[in-house]
Amino acid sequence: MRTVDFSPLFRSAIGFDRLFDLAEAAQRAASEETYPPYNIERLDENRFQISVALAGFSPDEIVLTVEQNVLTLEGHKSEKEGKTFLHRGISARNFKRQFTLADHLEVKGASFENGLLVIDLQREIPEAMMPRRIAINGVVPSNVTQIESKAA
């Protein structure tokens, strides 16, 4: 895979640091391993769900954190001593997977059942950023006759 050097853009683009960080993270993610497998599902316009297959892990071996729009999932599998495997097909390795979250996307909860971790996400736009209608005040031109006037 070819990598892209963003350094020339840093010289002329101001305030786009987060965009460049996202592009670099996407490049790194493309070359990362694919363990553990996961699905990302859109439930509706503002709700999402991440499902992660964690066979062999228990809830106390999993750490889920959110910091500055990055959701981090870590698994630390403790090795049970005294076991001798003839074949080991179930992965029991430690992992760390990160998901970059959009602005105003919050983790609402997580559940773990039958080896599947389900993380619920919801977009909550602050009231100050919601679209609102602005009243327009103006002078009625003298050549236009106003037929009806109602207070807004």
pLDDT tens for each residue of 20-50: 677 776 666 655 667 889 999 999 999 999 9
- Contact predicate 41/48, CB 8 Å: yes
* pTM of the shown model: 0.66
Interval 59-74: pLDDT, tens: 999 999 999 889 999 9
CA–CA distance, 105 with 125 (Å, rounded to integer): 8
Give 71's contacts (C-beta < 8 A, 6+ positions apart): 50, 64, 65, 98, 99, 100, 101, 107, 119
| Coil vs helix vs strand at 40 | strand
Q: What is the mean pLDDT of residues 118-138?
A: 85
> What pLDDT was estimated at residue 1?
53
pLDDT score of 16 more than 70: no
Interval 54-110: pLDDT, tens: 988 889 999 999 998 899 999 998 777 777 888 888 777 889 999 989 888 999 999
